[in-house]
Amino acid sequence: MPNKLKDNIDKFSTETKLRSGTKTLDLKHPLVMGILNLTPDSFYDGSRHQNTQDLLKRAEKHISEGAVILDIGAVSTRPGATKISEKEESNRLLPSLHILRATFPEIWISVDTWRASIAKQCLNEGADMINDISGGSFDKTMPEIIAKNNTPYVLMHIKGKPQDMQQNPTYGDIVKEIEFFLKTQSKKFVDAGVKQLILDPGFGFGKTLEHNYHLLKHLDEFRKIGFPLMVGISRKSMIHKLLEINADEALNGTSVLNTLAIQNGAKILRVHDVKEAMETIKLIQKYNAS
């Protein structure tokens, strides 16, 4: 491992904190990120928000139930989703970011975008971190923007693009291939000066149902890279397809898989249902302390 990358990992792992301005998040224990979708076609209807009142109500609920990060996204990344323009993404994101920042000044706000230009706008308007489904592979200028703002960055793996990622995704050794991607992309960000990385193996993004469960079983392998792990499996098809239900009925399955994710090293759970995720964390902590 290159010394620069190793030194960065060693320092970050020791501190186990995320920093944005004067705010800090301690990653010693698992945290919850609450999802706020600003799209009209999210795969889960319960996460869509089309007006300010609804958005603020949902955000307040997430915070009251224990979320320390709100993740807002304006581009649907469900399989087969239609790509929207940069202007449309910005028009959806910025008004919501402004009202959330003004209403909840102390909460961490993450912006789900793969466009560096959108990331720059949002960071300038008060966002605390960027959550990129492409891990910097869709927009090569992302490392520079993240480094200049000294902000935390979620580096996720995806195979293909949302429009085609579920069209027969294949791997030789999926764990090794994703580990290689995460290491390679991490180096690009560290070389650019980024100091706070969170890694996400990208459940459901260019993976079959079998791939997803294999990744979950071997999640701890990615901890060896040295950066904290985030997992987003909330109400996804890896749950409802297996159980032959729909996303609305997948809360129980989500709690089960979130339990496994935490036991295998996840530090951030990205979820639609904060209360249940917090209960999961509390029960695991009590179990592990007994």
The per-residue pLDDT for 127 is: 98
Q: Which of 183, 235, 236, 267 is catalytic?
A: 236
The pLDDT of residue 14:
55
CA distance 108 to 262: 21
Instruction: Identify the pLDDT of residue 163.
Output: 72
> What pLDDT, on the 0 to 100 scale, is given for residue 162?
82
pLDDT at 43: 46
Domains and CATH numbers, the chain: 3-12+30-289 (3.20.20.20)
Which residue of the set 83, 270, 275, 286 is catalytic?
270
101 given a catalytic annotation: no
Buried/exposed 264-282: b ≥16 CB within 10 Å, e otherwise? bbbbbbbbbbbebbbebbe
- CA dist 181 and 200 (Å) reads 11
> Is residue 236 flagged as an active site residue?
yes
Using DSSP's 3-state secondary structure scheme, residue 147 falls into helix
Q: Residue 164 corresponds to which tokens in the numbers above?
A: 């085609």
Collapse the DSSP code of 3 into the 3-class scheme (helix H, G, I; strand E, B; otherwise coil) and give the result.
Answer: helix
Instruction: Give the chain's residues under pLDDT 70.
Output: 1-5, 7-15, 41-50, 80-81
Token pair recorded at residue 13: 């792992």
Confidence at residue 164, expressed as pLDDT on a 0 to 100 scale:
76
Cα–Cα distance measured from residue 89 to residue 39, given in angstroms and rounded to the nearest whole number: 9
